């Protein structure tokens, strides 16, 4: 369809799950793709080739989004390599689940650093070229537990709720520069992360979904594509759930 033809998109955590699904969907629609990864160079190189098969330019960057200095270098490198940065999808995230009574300070801090501080870091530096161009889009990945909370996930829920407040503030700050910011809140999506859940837990989740099925990474990617494209040019500061009707 070419909804993003000629655009450059940065996707954090783009080597698996939802992030990889978004990268492929954006590449299919003509966007050049910059994505981040932490460990496997070989895997990143393979993904680069997969994305380039769509006829676009793609490059993986080994960068920790939770590192303030690394985030600045990442944006500078993308501008050098691609010439522009039009779309940022803040997707990188981790879980360190535990009941509050048992949760360690390290478990709290790691989740906050990766899930929330990373969005501050990248948004702060990515907004500069966007303001200069007077155009840009942020799509930030939250979660329905950031809206509703979840037992055993106080750290994860707090980080995802923080993303919502941050994104709404960004939308208000940057709207006059034609820069939009929206939030996608996935529900139960089939990924490597949810694959670690036991069968009983998966069944309980599925029964609480009106559509009676989990979502796919493509379900999330389709919404991100809409929000990143000009089809949503008058939508900003919104939180949209992709959850099969679980929260309504």
pLDDT band at 119 (very low <50, low <70, confident <90, very high): very high
Residue in this structure with the two tokens 């098969």, named with its chain if needed: 53
Provide long-range contacts, Cβ within 8 A and 24+ apart, for 24-27. 24/50, 24/51, 24/54, 24/221, 25/218, 25/221, 25/222, 25/224, 25/225, 26/87, 26/89, 26/221, 26/224, 26/225, 26/228, 27/51, 27/54, 27/56, 27/58
Task: Answer yes or no: 61 catalytic.
Answer: no
pLDDT band at 199 (very low <50, low <70, confident <90, very high): confident
For residue 194, pLDDT over 70 is answered with no
Paired tokens of 5:
């033809």
Question: Taking the model in full, what pTM does it have?
Answer: 0.95
For residue 192, pLDDT over 80 is answered with no
Q: With 0-12 CB in 10 A as exposed, 13-18 as middle and 19+ as buried, what is 77?
A: middle
* Mean pLDDT computed over 132-151: 96
pLDDT digits (tens, 9 = 90+) for 42-61: 999 999 999 999 999 999 99
- Name the catalytic one among 61, 82, 120, 156: 156
Q: With 0-12 CB in 10 A as exposed, 13-18 as middle and 19+ as buried, what is 13?
A: buried
For residue 39, pLDDT over 80 is answered with yes
- In contact, 26 and 57? CB cutoff 8 Å: no
* Domain 8-238, architecture per CATH: 3-Layer(aba) Sandwich (3.40)
- DSSP letters spanning 156-178: HHHHHHHHHHHHHHHHHHHGGGT
CA 90 from chain center: how many Å?
4
pLDDT band at 195 (very low <50, low <70, confident <90, very high): low
- Within the chain, what is the greatest distance between any pair of CA atoms? 51
pLDDT band at 196 (very low <50, low <70, confident <90, very high): low
Report d(CA 101, CA 168) in Å as an integer. 31
For residue 220, pLDDT over 80 is answered with yes
Report d(CA 92, CA 82) in Å as an integer. 21
What percent of the chain clears pLDDT 70, i.e. is strictly above it?
Answer: 98
- pLDDT at position 3, please? 98
pLDDT band at 1 (very low <50, low <70, confident <90, very high): low
pLDDT band at 139 (very low <50, low <70, confident <90, very high): very high
């Amino acid at each position: 369809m070419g909804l993003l033809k000629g655009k450059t998109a940065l996707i954090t955590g783009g080597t698996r799950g939802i992030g990889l699904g978004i990268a492929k969907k954006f590449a299919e629609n003509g966007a050049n793709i910059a994505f981040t990864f932490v460990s496997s160079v070989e895997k990143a190189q393979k993904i680069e080739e997969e994305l380039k098969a769509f006829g676009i330019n793609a490059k993986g960057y080994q960068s920790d989004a939770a590192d303030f200095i690394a985030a600045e270098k990442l944006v500078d490198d993308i501008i050098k390599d691609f010439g522009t940065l039009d779309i940022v999808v803040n997707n990188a995230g981790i879980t360190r689940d535990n009941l509050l009574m048992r949760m360690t300070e390290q478990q709290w801090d790691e989740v906050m650093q990766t899930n929330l501080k990373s969005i501050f870091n990248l948004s702060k530096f990515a907004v500069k070229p966007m303001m200069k161009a007077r155009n840009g889009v942020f799509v930030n990945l939250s979660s329905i537990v950031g809206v509703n909370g979840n037992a055993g996930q106080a750290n994860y829920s707090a980080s995802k709720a923080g993303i919502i407040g941050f994104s709404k503030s960004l939308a208000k700050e940057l709207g006059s520069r034609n820069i939009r910011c929206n939030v996608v809140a996935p529900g139960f999506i089939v990924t490597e992360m949810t694959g670690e859940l036991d069968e009983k837990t998966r069944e309980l989740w599925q029964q609480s979904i009106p559509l009676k099925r989990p979502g796919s990474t493509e379900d999330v990617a389709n919404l991100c594509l809409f929000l990143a494209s000009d089809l949503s040019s008058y939508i900003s500061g919104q939180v949209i759930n992709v959850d099969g009707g679980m929260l309504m």
